[in-house]
Chains A and B, each alone.
Chain A
């Protein structure tokens, strides 16, 4: 048995060798026989002739030999494919339509799948990723559930001390830019803070040196850092004696203890790591940590999870969470890292799958139409004894070949699509693995192509092979009124329209969301404003005095630059996520003692003038609001509306915690910001408190600069050229060791703020456009085909006195009616499907009647055009000629 399989495999893989051997064996047989004949006295010429005749057909013998070694099935397969290729070549229009349709659909699938694969499917690039987990909070509210991986210091300590089934480490989710000075270079590099054992848990061994020890990961421990391979090569030219050398980080000396291997892929963009020094106080008092855990060998998820859950219940209560709706658990580390993009990506994936389905429906329709023209071929083959199974196999081969051609073209389109996606993606999601067309993606594309070929080919093949041979042969394609059942094709077209409605409504809602967010009044004038951020998480800027001196001197120099109108510094920029903090109102109506949440900015005096944020009441800060002046605050209108409705606000007092009490001296207009809290909408006019940078104390500066890189904001009177270089020079003249992270116009900042919404709207919009196009092509094909089939009938009708208008109507109407049916069914489906978009839609309801109506009208309009265009061919019909044509 094994020998047979081996011999079969050898024959299959060595086809040309096999053929050569057979030919030479048979040739030498004939030669020997001829030679023997010559010996017995036959003329050489005659001997050769006789040898050939007596041997018989070598081709037949060779085929029998191939069959004998089990090559019958592969031979037939190859024959089917060759025949399929010939058939497809002979009908180039059909083939081109099919290949283009598939190429578009499969190209879109390839591109989206490459992202889905990189983010959600491909295992994390660490050893045994299936044993890595995130400690997460699971919320289960009314109908909604979600996972959050940000945790408090206390939760980390409990997991570290009491969860014996896992090896856990804690890290700060995200990376911050810091100032890095070494080897005569000043750079702004991305830094991530991680605990001792973080790399051990991931399964990464440093290339040189070691990772942080528990002693270094303690408050007040030695200042040490681990470098990425790239940074080590770039700055230290891969110095093998790097361990123990000092670098200046955040203005302080740090000792390098290790370098990570070249192939290490970080979960956030980072080039160096410092100890996190997690605690229960400070940042650890908030949910600012993430915990990664590796199952210890021999333990199961269930055991470890049980332990985590038991630890969590009392802790969550301690942190003011409701244990009835929330509990701790272990989710896969990858899931924990990707939770926030999971749903949008899955929706995109579903959408792109839907487009492929529509494409398949379209091609199935084309195949059905073509089958009508091939009835005689099929009937002849059946009559000549070809089995039905062989016929079906043959037609499936055709559609699989078509699928593969479309798939190959689609892979090329997908390659372009991946490039386009990469341009769209930055800022919309954190991708730690390269998005690329690798073998995984190509294999998926190939599978999708073959599956699509079978999907759209199976029904038409089954239908076409179910023939009444005699009727088909005698009918001779001269039916007066079509004759074939039009319903399968009509159903296909209607379902295509229905699926199109679902996609268009989804895209419409996301586009309206994007338009809504983009259309929000920014609250300031972004024109001619340049911003640049830098890290002040730096030992040299630990005091309010040093920070404010930097601000005053650098801003003064920037204001002197030609073309610069005004300049200011703020803790964070509009359209970005701002610091949020608790506060308490001290006076005014309805004062309650509970702490409330607000966004907080420190700013330099010219801030509102630079951004042209309107001052509604009272005053804004001046240089007179110095550290010695009375503590003052300015609030936004949204703040007043939310916390002091109906109150004038001026003269009221606020407590910002830690004894920081301030009087409200002014109210300004609202500014759009990324909302880190509240109802989760991406952009909103949040309640804001502004305080003067001059009145911010040392401790506050040190605290907020860990998380935020303050932004210099400069308004120029004209184009930005020269201003950027000038800002750079101005900063250097004040402190040559402070690097700006980069310069952006305020318009760029705004553009980046909506990256994810833009990504979703553009992608789903393109997919819906494709679906609309496919539906239009499907309807057009159906009607054009029916005009062609009914030419004779229509000719008779016209000859008998029907008007052209009547004829056009009778042909085109089914298209519009089918589209109407599709729109009705599709709207119902879309009603359900849009529930999935609930959390992604803003400024518009998921059931938005305007979107539904617009989609319905667009589809009906397109359907009407696609129906009447081919039907108008009837107007050029000459009845007399049509009837003469036989």
Chain B
């Protein structure tokens, strides 16, 4: 049989949600919301001691037996299961109480990974979140959580997810354009934001041009871009390789303003190739 405690106790114990649990003469609400006031009924007379014990909290209080022992609002606030005892020289009474997380979210922990990644990757950005009340209790009751990834110049990606045991997660695609994306998780009035840097991917192709410069060849690439058209960042190494007969010479050049350039000795019949990472560009045979 369920009985509403606020009614029984004249509205004193706001937030008590379930039936009374009795052990001997000790009457304790079966559960309360974190931080709610409640009362314990102990039989007998004279003075006694109340103990409320759980891993999350411990309370000891001198009490008068035979009446209502009031536990003030804000006294018991860590969610969990608690053993309750009222002892005196001649008697011991026991019961138990569950403290439930408050329903209103107050904090959210949010981990977004990675913090930096190439553009145009499917489901490459993950977010996971845990939802807490004002006392730092994990809210295990299902709640709607919204994840939103906003990229500059494109429509935000949004996922609405229900928490399971206080946890929610999602996966998002990285944008096709480089830039910083805002990754926001929101539950109720609470939100948390992470910044995800999206950088160009590998070069899509590399094309170099060659021209004579006295007894040397000047080699210059076209602007190097990824397959989404984003400029590959300066500093990325481009490798020029010249093969002439049995000899091979290699020069590593960092991109500067999106292009790489180098001068190599002009040798008739030499073959010159260009590459960056695993991407191989065009090849030139020097005939002058």
A binds B: no
Identify the A interface with B (CB < 8 A). Answer: none
Identify the B interface with A (CB < 8 A). Answer: none
